[in-house]
Each structure stands twice: as structure tokens, then as C-alpha cells.
Amino acid sequence: MEGEVVNATQGRRRRIPRRLVVLLLVGALLIVAAGVWVAFQPRVANHFSYALPGRDGLPTYIYAHGRRYQSLQVCAGDDWCERDRLQQLIPRCYTQADLRAMQMWPLVRMSTMLTLFGAPQPILSPQGESGVMQSYVIADGPDCYVTYGLEGGP
């Protein structure tokens, strides 16, 4: 073995300390939990136009075909729209009879909206509307329909 220098670290792997691995995993779990918590906030759902699960989970705004639509009936569970709705005497839901009276019936499926941890919500439009849609409707339970109107005109 004369002339050969043997490296003492050759053949050994560097080990990551177990404590560091645990800290990294805990940190990643905290980041994921915080992200889920933020995603369930009504203000975030309204801003990014996705529905939260359950009744009153529909957002104030939806985007369809490159345009923004607003409803004064819902706000993803936030409380500000309930005050506005009561002040302006806007119903929480329209019935099928109400939509018929407004000449917004029958409805056809146009698109879908993401629901966080739930089935997508169908976005409906009054049959016969063509061009830029002036309104959309989303069903929010049996015989409960929420209307969305185009912002800013056609």
C-alpha cells in the first residue's frame, strides 16, 4: 500500500440530520395548512371566483367567456352582501316561476365553475341569448337560482 492515499470519507454518504428532516416536513405541512385556510376565506373565494362548499358558498363574481359578472345575492358566506341584499330588497334566491316572469327560462348549461373540495357548479344561461351574454344563472339548491349580470355593459 505504499504510495496509496486512502480518503477516509470515500464510500461514506453524507447524512442529513433527522432533526432537519422533521423541521422541513413540519414547515411544509404548516404552509399547506395555511394555504387551505386562506383558500376557504370568503374574500379570497369572491376575488378568484370559485365557490365554497355548502349553501351560501357562491361567490359575488364569476368570469365566463372572458367577461366578469356580478351577483348582489351572494358573497361566498361573507356577511356584507346580506346587509346590502336586505337594504335593496333583493331576494336570496329566485324561483323557477320568478325566472319565467323575468323571461329567463328555460336555462341551458354554458360552463362550469370550480367548487373548492366539491363538485363543479354548472353556469346556466337563459335559452336563446346570443352574442355576449347579459346574464348567467347558477342553481343553489332546489328551486333556488342566483342571477349574475354583466359588469360594464356588452
For the chain, the structural domain boundaries read 42-150
Residue 137 makes CB contacts below 8 A (sequence gap 6+) with 99, 104, 107, 123, 124, 125, 126, 145, 146, 147, 148
What are phi and psi for residue 65, nearest 5 degrees?
50, 40
Q: Within a 10 A sphere around the Cβ of 95, how many other Cβ atoms?
A: 13
SS3 content of the chain, % helix, strand, coil (to 5): 30, 25, 50
Whole-number Å distance between alpha carbons of 1 and 4: 6
Per-residue pLDDT at 131? 60
Task: Give the residue-averaged pLDDT of 94-122.
Answer: 93
Classify residue 125 by its DSSP letter. Answer: E
Percent of the chain whose predicted confidence (pLDDT) is above 70: 88
Per-residue pLDDT at 79? 84
Confirm if 73 and 61 have CB atoms less than 8 A apart.
Answer: no
Whole-number Å distance between alpha carbons of 52 and 57: 4
Q: Which three cell numbers stand for residue 37?
A: 385556510
Which position has the higher pLDDT, 56 or 46?
Answer: 46
Find, among 152, 123, 120, the residue nearest to 137 by Cα.
123
